[in-house]
Amino acid sequence: MSDTNAGGQVSEPEEKKLRLLVTDDSRLLRKKLREDLENLGCEVLEAANGREAIEIDMANELDGVILDIVMPEVGGIEALQVIREVSPDVPIVMLSSAGTPQKLMQTLKMGAIDFIQKPYTKEQIVRAVKAIRRAREKFLKKAAESGSKS
């Protein structure tokens, strides 16, 4: 199933628009990340803290989550743990300006697939989107092969 866009070009089915959740307590950073991700063809939802991220994850079918580590109410590491339990197949990329090697290792051991240091570059965002897409496709392929639910 391929779609024709307004320019008459046919988009390939494997380039399905990713639905991503961006979670950061900085409204300015969320706005910039939204713009960068939308320019890459992603649909973007936003959360201002880990509690909102968990609620949005539970209410929506997401293809991936970008999660800041240091946030009010519920921090990124707590949110990562809950989202991983509720949605074990959703790829999570951590984002932080407080990225110590210990926090990086902790988040990767907890199931994050990548870590982006703030301030980020567009190349890091492109890499993260590709990693989310690969992880999502791998999960969906495995689910289809085993005949289980996605």
| Owner of token pair 């991700």 | 37
Task: State the average pLDDT over residues 143-150.
Answer: 70
Task: Note the pLDDT of residue 99.
Answer: 67
Give φ, ψ of 37 to 5 degrees.
-70, -40
Confidence of residue 143 (pLDDT cuts 50, 70, 90): confident
Tens of pLDDT, residues 48-99: 999 999 999 999 999 999 999 999 999 999 999 999 999 999 999 999 887 6
Task: Flag whether pLDDT at 32 surpasses 80.
Answer: yes
Maximum distance among all Cα pairs of the chain, rounded to whole angstroms: 49
pLDDT at residue 11 above 90? no
Helices (DSSP H) in the chain: which residue ranges? 27-39, 50-59, 76-86, 101-109, 122-146
Look at residue 136 and tell me whether its pLDDT is greater than 60: yes
